[in-house]
Structure 1
Amino acid sequence: MTDCDLCGVGIPTVAPVRIFKPKYVHSYPNGMWQGLCEPCLNAAKKVNDENAGTSCGKAGKCDFCGAIAQLFDVDIKIPSFSKGEDDSTVGICKKCLSSIGEAHERWEKEKAAEEHAHH
């Protein structure tokens, strides 16, 4: 079991996303791997597609990599024992959104290859 790095849901497999955390740039110059569940991956991909040509957003600290940058709001659902799930919004920088977009493409190709292999 592993946890999604955005919503915290525990699932067997997450989609790997390579990000560059400013705090660890010297230790991991090629980036670090974070994992996203499919709903968080799809939500971030949607925001990335909608804001492909824009660089505006609100300034702040990225909830995914920790960088101070322009952020885009991504709506996610956080698991809750009392309600089932809570709606939440996280701010993600353009660099992370681009990495998530690439990871989404790889994830979809892997899923398609698995489905094809099972048939």
Structure 2
Amino acid sequence: MKSTKLNDNSGYMLFESLIALAMVSISLYVLLPHSAQFFTTLKAAGAEVAYWRVAQDQMQVIAEGGSQIGSQASGGILFTTTWNPETSQLTVSGDDGAERVTVRAEEIQAESP
């Protein structure tokens, strides 16, 4: 196939290069917002997993009869736990303040070694 060129006073321009530039521009325009949203969602999911990990660890300690851990770091977040023995309720709060997890003691069983 013969390449088509435009003859201009300043030189030649290939249609193929313009098409390739348009395809790259459109791809970046479409994919960049999706990539940013993906990484934001991934970070939020990581924080949620860290909340539940701290809650599970704390409930495991309480179910085995140990003492409560006041603060614990996980996933780059410092967590504060509050245990209410009257309602058997554990509240986990992170320093980012975005989420709070409340777990009841009946939901987690202690494993025997």
Q: TM-score, normalised by structure 1?
A: 0.29
Between the two structures, name the one with larger relative contact order (CA 8 Å, sep ≥ 6): 1
Q: Which structure has the bigger radius of gyration?
A: 2
Q: TM-score, normalised by structure 2?
A: 0.30
